[in-house]
Chain A
Amino acid sequence: MTTIATVESDDTGLRLSRLSAWLVVCFLLLPITVIVPISLTDRPYLSLPAAGLSLQYFINFFTSPDWLSSFGQSFFVAVCAMVIAALTGTLAAIGCWRLGGRVSDGMRALMLLPMIIPQVVYALGIYRTYAEMHLLGTYTGVIIAHAVTGIPYVAILVSAALADFDMRLDQAARSLGASIFQSITLVLLPIIRPAIASGAIFAFIHSWDELLLVLFIGGRAIFTLPRRIWNGINDTLDPTMAAVATVLLFIACLLLVLDLVIRRRDL
């Protein structure tokens, strides 16, 4: 008797928590789902469509030289920053993994700092530094700042993959006459490639969405997509913004699927 009763009350508790979990997930998805119909509105302000659907704000976006130029700038900056972060982050993660000890602990802490220290602190510092180096408003400047702050993502993911790597594979390769370089490129890299790709995607997204740094160091020349949206939101609430948001949403979903496929991750 008692067992049955307790099992039932257990179920109520669990059911309650599951119900609340679904409610929270609905809350999480609410703004994401609502942005799509809003971008198809036929009215001149941010609202749900009234009489019918309209593609005019997507046409606005795809025919506006300003928006398209920002799209291109963001893509260029993000790809360059991604390559630098992925390359340096992966090499450093491999180095830390093989060296161990204090050097590698220090290096790991160093690589995590950009994720922990509030971005505005770095924004002030890099603004001042770039002002002296004449890097304000240059692609080089923005790319370096985004690459440096993207390193943590690569470092964390690659380190995690390395922790699971079977050291005996490396030893076997070395004992069969492979140099360090060969052992890394022919044995290690193919095995940790999914983690590198995943880290690179994160570094890309980090740069693609980054706002605060580019507000400080973008100068007059660099208007990435986030910066253009920022100005747009502060000026007017043009529904073109919702169309841009929908395009970004679509890209983010593509990247998420890509990441899940690459890592074959079990949620």
Chain B
Amino acid sequence: MAQTLPFDAPLGKDAGPAGASPAPPRPLAPSGRRSLLAGRLGYHLLLAPAALLLLTFYILPVVRVLWISVVEPHPGLGNYAELASPPVRHVLTTTAAICTLTTTITVLLAYVVAYAITHCGRITRRLLMLGVILPLWISVLVRSIAWVALLRRQGVVNSTLLQLGIIHQPLALIWNELGVTIGMVHYMLPYGILPLVANMRLIDPSFTTAARGLGASPVQAFRRIFLPLSLPGVIAAGVLVFIFSLGFYATPVLLGGGKVIMVTEYISSQIMNVLDWGTGTMLATTMVATVLVLLVLLSRAADLRQVFGAK
């Protein structure tokens, strides 16, 4: 579950094809051309193991899921009519609502943290970054156990508040939408913060200084200069968090306690318990389509490589 890297690592800038760089001096000219060809073949061979592994054990199984959705139990789009059925609609509405809520809260909090990280001294920055990165390394199950211990009726939060006399009845903090949202925001925050930091680092501080020098108030300088410049980062963080939220499994199940059923849990139970491959694969296909559409939107709104901090 630790998925730190995409945000602090570039997506691999092209160093340019070998042929485009100045050819190495070759004293033995006659063999030059042949070995260049052999070289390119050699580099193609380097791709082979990963390509074979991915095609056989990733792409084929995934394509198969898409295929099953239109042929089982009957060929045609019959499975997709299920999208209108009340239980599926309920699951989709729940998923959309929780993902939207999670994304909104995450991006708001992430913005504040990223702003502080890019506007503070070196030591504070390092400490804050460490606090952001550490949770990424902790298993989502470990965190869910901790949230259960903290939030349940006799949990740490409720018993502390009761002892302090702030509340007289334990609060229902878990096994409902609130619990799921707390757990999901906690998981998603680093994925919101890191792309925003990458984006804000690129904003030239002299722009805001110039605005201030020309008489803008701090609020004006922020609203009219900094905020618009950070908007691509906001969109990128939002779309990424939304995509990751859609596919989330462990936290909604553990903190939702069967009362908040999101699409991944529903698909799993369709396959594992009901053995309804038609509905399961149809929903899986719908998820893939949604994610791809979101990615296209993201690539239009922002230069992906810049967003991920490659520049």
Contact = CB atoms under 8 A, between A and B. Distances in A.
Interface string A92-114: 11111111110110011011111
Contacts of B267: 120, 124
A32 interface: yes
A159 B6 CA distance: 11
A122 B149 CA distance: 32
B165 interface: no
Contacts of B203: none
A57 interface: no
Interface of B: 1-6, 9-18, 20-22, 24-26, 39-40, 42-47, 49-51, 53-55, 57-65, 68, 109, 112-113, 115-117, 119-120, 124-126, 128-135, 137-150, 152, 154-156, 159, 186, 189-190, 212, 217-219, 222, 243, 246-247, 249-250, 254, 264, 267-268, 271-272, 277, 280-281, 284-285, 287-288, 291, 295, 310
B64 to A, nearest CB: 5
B196 to A, nearest CB: 12
A162 B9 CA distance: 11
Interface in A202-244: 202, 205-206, 208-212, 215-216, 226, 229-230, 233, 237, 241-242
Given A10-B218, A110-B54, A121-B65, A99 B124 contact: no
Contact of A24 (B47, B109, B154, B310): B109
A129 B12 contact: no
Q: Which 5 A-B pairs have the closest CB atoms?
A: A159-B12, A125-B61, A118-B247, A31-B146, A95-B46
Interface residues of A, number: 112
A21 B117 contact: yes
A120 B140 CA distance: 16
A137 interface: no
A121 B284 contact: yes
Nearest to B15: A97
Contacts of A153: 3, 5
A32 to B, nearest CB: 6
A103 B44 contact: yes
B219 to A, nearest CB: 8
A230 B141 contact: yes
A20 B112 contact: yes
A248 B2 contact: no
A66 B80 CA distance: 43
A173 B112 CA distance: 48
Nearest to A173: B24
Nearest to B217: A6
A6 B50 contact: no
Contacts of A252: 2, 137-139, 142
Contact of B246 (A9, A118, A242): A118
Interface in A2-26: 6, 9-10, 13-14, 17-18, 20-22, 24-25
Given A163-B10, A171-B21, A98 B130 contact: no
Contacts of B310: 160, 163
Interface of B is mostly: helix
Given A226-B139, A230-B141, A252-B139, 10 more contacts: A21-B112, A22-B128, A88-B53, A129-B57, A145-B57, A167-B15, A171-B24, A211-B141, A242-B145, A253-B137
A119 interface: yes
A95 B15 contact: no
A118 B55 CA distance: 17
Most chain A CB inside 10 Å of its own CB: which residue of B113, B133, B217: B113
Contacts of B117: 21
A249 interface: yes
8 contacts: A91-B49, A95-B43, A95-B46, A99-B18, A120-B284, A156-B6, A163-B310, A209-B1
A108 B137 contact: no
A8 to B, nearest CB: 10
